[in-house]
Amino acid sequence: MDNRRYCRKCLMQDMGGQEQFFADLKAYIEAIAPEDRTPEASYAERLQRCRECDYLEQGMCRACGCYVELRAARRTQHCSYNHW
């Protein structure tokens, strides 16, 4: 039986043991064209709001099912609950 505990309020970048998945996610985000990417300060603010949200669980939004780091990285995306 797996007795590891997971941080429900963590983003993917905050969780250990997921190195390859996070590396792939990060590479995908970095490949977003600069004109389509959320400015860094806004991206950080979006992620902070996600960290404070009750719907965040293991890097995913339980409300819409997205990986919040990916959704927040695209300028045109928005939070389903208007948190950003």
Give 39-81 as a DSSP string. PHHHHHHHHHHHHT-TTEETTEETTT--BHHHHHHBTT---TT
State residue 1's pLDDT score: 47
Name the pTM for this structure.
0.75
Could you list the pLDDT tens digit for every one of the 84 residues in the chain? 445 555 566 676 666 666 777 788 888 899 999 999 999 999 999 999 999 999 999 889 999 999 999 999 999 999 988 999
At residue 18, the pLDDT reads 66
